[in-house]
Structure 1
């Protein structure tokens, strides 16, 4: 694909991603919604993603589908297992009814978990030792993965992708960012290994690339295979923008169909991810005391950051200049003008999170000329709403339905 032409690319033109053709350039980014129960989507989650499809989005991404029970971060999260298929199919059918595609974000939390029940003595990660995330849940130590552990997790990712295909998903997004397991290998903050999986960036990417290769081999003929990663970790001692460029080149070489360009880490640099602070008055008090404590600690650490549109564009441009693989720009898209700027700079798609939570029909409004600017103010209150009975919603609109959120999708 030629990214150097000067002709203005329409955000409403189709886009090919691997074997998949999207109807336009808008993707609903993966956002943890707090709308799953006992490992399956709720009826409220189906309604949420259907609203994205009905509102004109080309593809909606179901966040945090764990490839194993050990891979969950929080209780109730979706697990890709045969028992989940009927419930997941309700969701993909609802999305397909409106002509949109559905993507499953497949992931494993590693040591970034609040789940104390697991099949290993301690949470797995790139390296062993002190587990700062576990301070809140009494899991003070993590254990370094052996090659046998890695082989098993590679198989789990491939099997998770196959199950996603069986459930009707059109794409899978492998989560390699934000401090989850694959990110723990990529990040020098977490990866202190001295074998073939540690040291140089190429070595740190070895296991994530094995996962990507296995997923491509398993489903790549039928599904688009995307990788989401942090182009900068936004923290001293972590990966910097130049590392983000090198990571993109390695994932392109391995055959990823598209890269979703995120940033930051959940524990260390949440403002890098969201591009704005979480003000005190914007906090919803989560009922889970561990999560409340984590959010309080986070607030003590972060410096105030004011939101600006396209806050990750400078870093993302470097990736665009370095690779030819299709790229989805993520980070503060709120206006049609911003959308057009991103496409004119050679990016292929736009991944929107908060803007679509605020207005699920924003794409349709843009297309009809009914709106030039979304209503999202990046207040970040939707993030904390994840822990309310109705799940994630925008505070400017109606809250999620707690009754629907308590019912499994296929029940």
Structure 2
């Protein structure tokens, strides 16, 4: 947040607001020096069919690195095998580390920094695909796998907390500059925070302080594992967008807990539930037919019959999370990352004027990986993304913008084979 130095006039202090930082100038995030304040946010790449780094995954991130971002975020690397959203997803294990080192070295060669998003999908995991039982804060039916999530036991909680610490240390060791801990979108940690999903009667259920204990333990383990060697970021929901879910009355106090704990270098503010209301995050068109066509037959039928009840219509508008995020900015002093509808330099400057330290971009960079370089050359340049969200239908076959034929072809031709280990 901008500092306000005091000057004296005739014996009275006068507060003069410091100028907002230039979003395209170098900045510091914890121990990391970034070339600008633009972060490529985590978006599932669909580029790891064998749960190993591929040439395609490397190209996905080096493209935005060459395109000028300050840091790109690899999404999403599960801390445990059952924590994957599906079996092709990267997860932390020794055989994945050489490929991840290749990736970090390639991104660094572009001049950008690179972050690893770590977490456990919990009820968003497809147990049928993974071949492992899925976990949640409380037992519930999981339509993704047409089965039931198992309530995480105390042993599960201890194991998963430890796994986050090991994953963070591994990320540091293979060259990541930051780790982003996923606490949002009703993944496992988010399902503990949600009063709608968490119906436990033990010390991890009930009050906000009880429901917050598991994610706070995770962040403590991550910081203990990496010290000050890398930046530690948490991605958390401001609101689930679901009646009875995690909302501002609890999310702001939770963020204040995280600030007081002191484990974070920045907090990335998001919203929506991958499980219950995904379009709250995305905004824009709902390409239900295209998303259904990308699913296995049973899920395809379910989406056609019931998709309209899950995928709600939220029109796109620039900086669509701004009003929610400003309420956090007023209550917190820690660095905050604003995402949601950042598409041009004017939006970035508005975020800086509001007191946010960084901005995160996703679909705009999927459409144009070199958008930041374009903005550097021409401050009036803006994203060509139409917010059609057809990219969401491509995530299991290689995430790309279907409107960018040349870019899509380049990524496909990069291949999905694992890199040499």
Q: TM-score range by the shorter chain?
A: over 0.9
Structure 2 partner of 1:286: 294
Task: Provide the C-alpha distance between the structure 1 equivalents of 2:303 and 2:31, rounded to a whole number of angstroms.
Answer: 40
Q: Provide closer, same or farther for how the CA distance between residues 319 and 294 of structure 1 changes in structure 2, counting only shifts above 3 A.
A: farther
Q: CA deviation at 1:118?
A: 6.7
What whole-Å deviation, never above 9, does each CA across 1:249-297 have from its counterpart, x for those lacking one? 1111222111111100012111211122414476572153355356543
CA contact (8 A) 1:391 1:405 kept: no
Q: CA deviation at 1:404?
A: 3.1
SS of residue matched to 1:116: helix
What whole-Å deviation, never above 9, does each CA across 1:15-38 have from its counterpart, x for those lacking one? 222211211100000001111122
Where does the alignment leave 5 or more consecutive residues of structure 1 unmatched? none
SS of residue matched to 2:123: coil
Q: Provide closer, same or farther for how the CA distance between residues 74 and 7 of structure 1 changes in structure 2, counting only shifts above 3 A.
A: same
Q: CA deviation at 1:117?
A: 7.1
Q: What is the TM-score of this pair, normalised by structure 2? A: 0.91
Which of 314, 317, 334 does residue 323 from structure 2 map onto?
Answer: 314
Task: Provide the C-alpha distance between the structure 2 equivalents of 1:280 and 1:72, rounded to a whole number of angstroms.
Answer: 23
Q: CA deviation at 1:372?
A: 2.6
CA contact (8 A) 1:278 1:299 kept: no
Indicate yes or no: 2:244 matched with 1:232: no
SS of residue matched to 1:37: coil
Which of 11, 18, 23 does residue 23 from structure 2 map onto?
Answer: 11
Structure 1 partner of 2:128: 116
Task: Provide the C-alpha distance between the structure 1 equivalents of 2:302 and 2:69, rounded to a whole number of angstroms.
Answer: 33
Task: Provide the C-alpha distance between the structure 2 equivalents of 1:12 and 1:142, rounded to a whole number of angstroms.
Answer: 44
Indicate yes or no: 2:260 matched with 1:253: yes
Moved over 4 A (4+): 117-120, 280-284
Q: Provide closer, same or farther for how the CA distance between residues 292 and 164 of structure 1 changes in structure 2, counting only shifts above 3 A.
A: farther
Structure 2 partner of 1:409: 419
CA RMSD of aligned residues (A): 2.0
Q: CA deviation at 1:378?
A: 1.1
Structure 2 partner of 1:264: 272
Q: Aligned ranges for residues 29-108 of structure 1 at < 5 Å?
A: 29-108=41-120
Report the more deviating stretch, 182-191 or 245-254: 245-254
Which of 333, 338, 343 does residue 334 from structure 1 map onto?
Answer: 343
Q: CA deviation at 1:14?
A: 2.2
> What is the count of residue pairs matched by the alignment?
405
Q: CA deviation at 1:6?
A: 5.0
Q: Provide closer, same or farther for how the CA distance between residues 239 and 338 of structure 1 changes in structure 2, counting only shifts above 3 A.
A: same
SS of residue matched to 1:63: strand
SS of residue matched to 1:228: strand
SS of residue matched to 1:111: helix
Structure 2 partner of 1:137: 145
Which of 377, 387, 395 does residue 403 from structure 2 map onto?
Answer: 395
Q: What is the TM-score of this pair, normalised by structure 1? A: 0.93
What whole-Å deviation, never above 9, does each CA across 1:299-330 have from its counterpart, x for those lacking one? 34343221111111000000111111111001
Q: CA deviation at 1:7?
A: 1.5
SS of residue matched to 1:262: strand
Q: Provide closer, same or farther for how the CA distance between residues 345 and 182 of structure 1 changes in structure 2, counting only shifts above 3 A.
A: same
CA contact (8 A) 1:384 1:392 kept: no
Task: Provide the C-alpha distance between the structure 1 equivalents of 2:380 and 2:137, rounded to a whole number of angstroms.
Answer: 46
Indicate yes or no: 2:285 matched with 1:274: no
Q: Provide closer, same or farther for how the CA distance between residues 70 and 284 of structure 1 changes in structure 2, counting only shifts above 3 A.
A: closer
Structure 1 partner of 2:383: 374
Structure 1 partner of 2:356: 347
CA contact (8 A) 2:138 2:200 kept: yes
SS of residue matched to 2:257: helix
Report the more deviating stretch, 362-371 or 199-208: 362-371
Computing the radius of gyration from Cα coordinates, the structure with the larger value is 2
SS of residue matched to 1:230: strand
Which of 387, 395, 409 does residue 386 from structure 1 map onto?
Answer: 395
Structure 1 partner of 2:9: none
Structure 2 partner of 1:152: 159
Q: CA deviation at 1:119?
A: 8.7
What whole-Å deviation, never above 9, does each CA across 1:133-161 have from its counterpart, x for those lacking one? x234232x222222221111111111111
Task: Provide the C-alpha distance between the structure 2 equivalents of 1:110 and 1:373, rounded to a whole number of angstroms.
Answer: 37
